[in-house]
Amino acid sequence: MRMNSAVAAACGVVALTALAVPAAHADEQFGDTEITGVVVNDGDPVVVGTGARTVTVEVTATDPSGLEQISARLYHGSFGAPDSSVAPAATCGPTAATTTTCTLTFTLTPGTVPATSSLAGGWSVSAYAIAPDSDAVFRDNAASFTLQRATDVTVATSPKPVKWGRTLTVTGGVTNANWATGTSVGAEAGLPATLEFRPRGSSTYCTVKTVQTASDGTLSTTVRAYTDGYYRWSYAGTTTTSAALSPAAFVNVVG
Protein backbone atom coordinates (compact mmCIF):
# COMPACT_ATOMS: atom_id res chain seq x y z
CA MET A 1 0.00 0.00 0.00
CA ARG A 2 1.34 3.44 -0.81
CA MET A 3 1.95 5.97 1.97
CA ASN A 4 0.31 9.32 1.31
CA SER A 5 2.10 12.56 2.15
CA ALA A 6 0.29 13.04 5.49
CA VAL A 7 1.31 9.60 6.71
CA ALA A 8 4.90 10.16 5.56
CA ALA A 9 5.14 13.42 7.47
CA ALA A 10 3.73 11.89 10.64
CA CYS A 11 5.54 8.58 10.73
CA GLY A 12 9.19 9.61 10.61
CA VAL A 13 11.12 6.61 11.90
CA VAL A 14 8.32 4.24 10.92
CA ALA A 15 8.82 5.37 7.33
CA LEU A 16 12.48 4.36 7.56
CA THR A 17 11.49 0.80 8.45
CA ALA A 18 8.93 0.61 5.69
CA LEU A 19 11.53 1.66 3.16
CA ALA A 20 13.49 -1.54 3.68
CA VAL A 21 11.19 -2.95 0.98
CA PRO A 22 11.40 -0.44 -1.91
CA ALA A 23 8.69 -2.29 -3.86
CA ALA A 24 6.16 -0.86 -1.40
CA HIS A 25 6.58 2.52 -3.12
CA ALA A 26 6.61 3.84 -6.64
CA ASP A 27 7.96 7.23 -7.68
CA GLU A 28 6.78 9.30 -4.73
CA GLN A 29 8.20 12.52 -3.32
CA PHE A 30 7.40 14.21 -0.03
CA GLY A 31 8.87 17.67 0.51
CA ASP A 32 12.12 18.91 -1.02
CA THR A 33 14.26 15.78 -0.90
CA GLU A 34 15.72 14.98 -4.33
CA ILE A 35 17.75 12.18 -5.93
CA THR A 36 19.88 13.95 -8.51
CA GLY A 37 21.99 11.09 -9.84
CA VAL A 38 22.47 7.32 -9.80
CA VAL A 39 25.56 5.74 -11.39
CA VAL A 40 26.17 1.99 -11.54
CA ASN A 41 29.73 0.66 -11.89
CA ASP A 42 31.03 4.04 -13.10
CA GLY A 43 28.66 3.79 -16.06
CA ASP A 44 30.16 0.58 -17.46
CA PRO A 45 28.33 -2.73 -17.98
CA VAL A 46 28.53 -5.07 -15.00
CA VAL A 47 30.35 -8.25 -16.01
CA VAL A 48 29.88 -11.34 -13.83
CA GLY A 49 31.91 -14.50 -14.29
CA THR A 50 31.68 -17.78 -12.38
CA GLY A 51 32.48 -16.26 -8.97
CA ALA A 52 31.04 -13.54 -6.77
CA ARG A 53 31.35 -9.96 -8.04
CA THR A 54 31.10 -6.74 -6.03
CA VAL A 55 29.35 -3.80 -7.68
CA THR A 56 29.18 -0.20 -6.48
CA VAL A 57 26.27 2.17 -7.05
CA GLU A 58 26.59 5.90 -6.36
CA VAL A 59 23.36 7.66 -5.34
CA THR A 60 23.48 11.45 -5.02
CA ALA A 61 20.72 13.05 -2.97
CA THR A 62 19.93 16.53 -1.62
CA ASP A 63 17.79 18.03 1.15
CA PRO A 64 18.23 21.36 3.02
CA SER A 65 17.99 19.56 6.38
CA GLY A 66 20.53 16.85 5.53
CA LEU A 67 19.94 13.16 4.80
CA GLU A 68 18.89 10.50 7.27
CA GLN A 69 19.15 7.49 5.00
CA ILE A 70 19.98 6.71 1.36
CA SER A 71 19.73 3.29 -0.25
CA ALA A 72 18.94 1.42 -3.46
CA ARG A 73 18.14 -2.02 -4.85
CA LEU A 74 19.14 -3.76 -8.08
CA TYR A 75 16.40 -5.71 -9.82
CA HIS A 76 15.54 -7.55 -13.04
CA GLY A 77 12.07 -7.58 -14.53
CA SER A 78 9.24 -5.34 -13.37
CA PHE A 79 9.49 -3.09 -10.34
CA GLY A 80 6.39 -4.54 -8.70
CA ALA A 81 7.25 -8.19 -9.37
CA PRO A 82 10.98 -8.60 -10.08
CA ASP A 83 12.29 -12.06 -10.95
CA SER A 84 15.63 -11.26 -9.28
CA SER A 85 16.85 -8.53 -6.93
CA VAL A 86 19.64 -7.74 -4.51
CA ALA A 87 19.98 -5.27 -1.63
CA PRO A 88 23.17 -3.41 -0.64
CA ALA A 89 25.49 -4.51 2.13
CA ALA A 90 24.56 -1.36 4.09
CA THR A 91 22.70 1.94 3.66
CA CYS A 92 24.18 5.44 4.02
CA GLY A 93 23.45 8.09 6.64
CA PRO A 94 22.78 10.03 8.64
CA THR A 95 24.65 13.12 7.46
CA ALA A 96 24.20 16.84 8.00
CA ALA A 97 25.40 17.62 4.47
CA THR A 98 22.68 19.06 2.25
CA THR A 99 24.08 17.15 -0.74
CA THR A 100 25.79 13.80 -0.44
CA THR A 101 26.84 10.96 -2.71
CA CYS A 102 26.26 7.57 -1.14
CA THR A 103 28.39 4.68 -2.40
CA LEU A 104 26.46 1.43 -1.98
CA THR A 105 28.03 -2.01 -2.37
CA PHE A 106 26.21 -5.00 -3.84
CA THR A 107 27.40 -8.59 -4.17
CA LEU A 108 26.28 -10.61 -7.19
CA THR A 109 26.76 -14.34 -6.71
CA PRO A 110 26.19 -16.64 -9.73
CA GLY A 111 23.67 -19.36 -8.94
CA THR A 112 21.92 -17.12 -6.40
CA VAL A 113 21.68 -13.61 -7.83
CA PRO A 114 21.84 -13.93 -10.78
CA ALA A 115 20.51 -17.47 -10.57
CA THR A 116 20.70 -18.32 -14.28
CA SER A 117 22.22 -16.93 -17.46
CA SER A 118 18.74 -15.95 -18.68
CA LEU A 119 18.96 -12.99 -16.30
CA ALA A 120 21.72 -11.34 -18.36
CA GLY A 121 20.77 -8.12 -20.09
CA GLY A 122 18.98 -5.02 -18.83
CA TRP A 123 18.61 -4.42 -15.09
CA SER A 124 17.17 -1.48 -13.13
CA VAL A 125 17.92 0.38 -9.92
CA SER A 126 15.31 1.59 -7.46
CA ALA A 127 16.51 4.20 -4.97
CA TYR A 128 15.27 6.28 -2.06
CA ALA A 129 16.45 9.08 0.21
CA ILE A 130 14.95 10.25 3.51
CA ALA A 131 15.64 13.50 5.36
CA PRO A 132 15.56 14.04 9.15
CA ASP A 133 12.38 16.15 8.82
CA SER A 134 10.62 13.11 7.21
CA ASP A 135 10.78 14.51 3.68
CA ALA A 136 11.55 11.62 1.32
CA VAL A 137 11.82 10.58 -2.31
CA PHE A 138 11.33 7.15 -3.89
CA ARG A 139 12.32 6.25 -7.46
CA ASP A 140 11.31 2.83 -8.77
CA ASN A 141 13.54 3.15 -11.87
CA ALA A 142 16.27 5.61 -10.90
CA ALA A 143 18.79 4.11 -13.34
CA SER A 144 19.39 1.16 -15.62
CA PHE A 145 22.47 -0.89 -16.46
CA THR A 146 23.55 -3.93 -18.43
CA LEU A 147 24.50 -7.17 -16.68
CA GLN A 148 26.72 -9.38 -18.86
CA ARG A 149 28.17 -12.87 -18.69
CA ALA A 150 31.97 -12.83 -18.62
CA THR A 151 33.76 -13.94 -21.79
CA ASP A 152 37.09 -15.69 -22.35
CA VAL A 153 38.75 -16.03 -25.77
CA THR A 154 41.65 -18.34 -26.64
CA VAL A 155 44.01 -18.48 -29.63
CA ALA A 156 46.40 -21.03 -31.12
CA THR A 157 48.41 -21.23 -34.35
CA SER A 158 49.87 -24.07 -36.41
CA PRO A 159 52.45 -24.92 -37.66
CA LYS A 160 55.24 -23.33 -35.61
CA PRO A 161 57.37 -22.05 -37.19
CA VAL A 162 55.68 -21.59 -40.55
CA LYS A 163 57.44 -21.24 -43.89
CA TRP A 164 57.16 -18.00 -45.80
CA GLY A 165 53.98 -17.86 -47.94
CA ARG A 166 52.60 -21.10 -46.55
CA THR A 167 49.21 -21.60 -44.91
CA LEU A 168 48.92 -20.83 -41.22
CA THR A 169 45.93 -22.16 -39.30
CA VAL A 170 44.62 -19.94 -36.52
CA THR A 171 42.15 -21.49 -34.09
CA GLY A 172 40.58 -20.51 -30.78
CA GLY A 173 37.31 -20.36 -28.97
CA VAL A 174 34.83 -18.12 -27.18
CA THR A 175 33.37 -19.21 -23.83
CA ASN A 176 30.90 -17.46 -21.54
CA ALA A 177 30.12 -17.84 -17.87
CA ASN A 178 27.18 -20.10 -17.06
CA TRP A 179 25.74 -18.63 -13.87
CA ALA A 180 23.60 -21.64 -12.96
CA THR A 181 26.51 -24.10 -12.96
CA GLY A 182 29.40 -21.81 -12.07
CA THR A 183 31.35 -22.96 -15.12
CA SER A 184 32.20 -21.58 -18.57
CA VAL A 185 30.51 -22.90 -21.71
CA GLY A 186 31.11 -22.46 -25.42
CA ALA A 187 29.41 -19.47 -27.00
CA GLU A 188 26.48 -20.00 -29.32
CA ALA A 189 27.01 -20.43 -33.04
CA GLY A 190 27.20 -17.56 -35.49
CA LEU A 191 28.82 -14.89 -33.32
CA PRO A 192 31.48 -12.80 -35.11
CA ALA A 193 35.08 -12.69 -33.92
CA THR A 194 37.78 -10.70 -35.70
CA LEU A 195 41.24 -12.10 -36.36
CA GLU A 196 43.85 -9.36 -35.86
CA PHE A 197 47.57 -9.27 -36.68
CA ARG A 198 50.44 -7.12 -35.38
CA PRO A 199 53.82 -7.35 -37.15
CA ARG A 200 56.89 -7.76 -35.00
CA GLY A 201 58.15 -4.32 -33.98
CA SER A 202 54.76 -2.64 -34.43
CA SER A 203 52.31 -1.59 -31.72
CA THR A 204 49.25 -1.58 -33.98
CA TYR A 205 46.92 -4.48 -34.82
CA CYS A 206 45.17 -4.66 -38.17
CA THR A 207 42.06 -6.62 -39.06
CA VAL A 208 42.70 -9.77 -41.10
CA LYS A 209 39.23 -11.26 -41.36
CA THR A 210 36.03 -11.93 -39.42
CA VAL A 211 35.01 -15.48 -38.54
CA GLN A 212 31.84 -16.81 -36.92
CA THR A 213 31.80 -19.15 -33.95
CA ALA A 214 30.90 -22.81 -34.51
CA SER A 215 28.14 -24.51 -32.52
CA ASP A 216 30.55 -25.14 -29.63
CA GLY A 217 32.01 -21.63 -29.66
CA THR A 218 35.24 -22.58 -31.44
CA LEU A 219 36.96 -20.47 -34.11
CA SER A 220 39.12 -21.53 -37.05
CA THR A 221 40.53 -19.96 -40.17
CA THR A 222 43.62 -19.95 -42.39
CA VAL A 223 45.91 -17.17 -43.62
CA ARG A 224 49.09 -16.91 -45.65
CA ALA A 225 52.14 -16.14 -43.51
CA TYR A 226 54.62 -13.59 -44.85
CA THR A 227 56.15 -11.93 -41.79
CA ASP A 228 56.77 -12.53 -38.10
CA GLY A 229 54.11 -11.20 -35.81
CA TYR A 230 51.28 -11.71 -33.35
CA TYR A 231 47.77 -13.01 -33.98
CA ARG A 232 44.78 -12.56 -31.67
CA TRP A 233 41.01 -12.90 -31.70
CA SER A 234 38.79 -9.91 -30.85
CA TYR A 235 35.22 -10.62 -29.70
CA ALA A 236 32.89 -7.59 -29.61
CA GLY A 237 30.37 -9.12 -27.21
CA THR A 238 26.58 -8.90 -27.21
CA THR A 239 23.96 -7.31 -24.99
CA THR A 240 24.32 -10.31 -22.65
CA THR A 241 28.02 -11.23 -23.00
CA SER A 242 31.08 -9.06 -22.49
CA ALA A 243 33.65 -8.11 -25.10
CA ALA A 244 37.03 -9.84 -24.83
CA LEU A 245 40.43 -10.24 -26.47
CA SER A 246 42.44 -13.42 -26.62
CA PRO A 247 46.12 -13.40 -25.67
CA ALA A 248 48.50 -12.82 -28.58
CA ALA A 249 50.13 -15.82 -30.29
CA PHE A 250 53.51 -15.12 -31.84
CA VAL A 251 54.26 -16.70 -35.22
CA ASN A 252 57.79 -17.05 -36.54
CA VAL A 253 57.99 -17.06 -40.35
CA VAL A 254 61.08 -18.80 -41.76
CA GLY A 255 62.78 -19.31 -45.10
Q: How far apart are CA 11 and CA 233, in angstroms?
A: 59
The predicted structure's pLDDT at residue 10: 28
Averaged pLDDT for residues 216-243: 98
Over residues 117-143, the mean pLDDT reads 98
Phi and psi of 16, rounded to 5°? -60, -45
The per-residue pLDDT for 129 is 98
Amino acid at 193: A
| Share above pLDDT 90 across residues of the chain, in percent, rounded to a whole number | 89
CA distance 29 to 68: 15
To 10 degrees, the CA torsion angle through 106, 109, 110, 112?
Answer: -100
Q: How high is the pLDDT of residue 26?
A: 66
237 by Cβ neighbours in 10 Å (0-12 / 13-18 / 19+) ranks as middle
Paired with 38 in beta bridges are: 59
pLDDT of 15: 36
Is residue 245 within 8 A of residue 234, CB to CB? The reply is yes
Mean pLDDT of 30-43: 98
Distance of CA 89 to the CA centre of its chain: 18
Distance, CA of 210 to CA of 221 (rounded, Å): 9
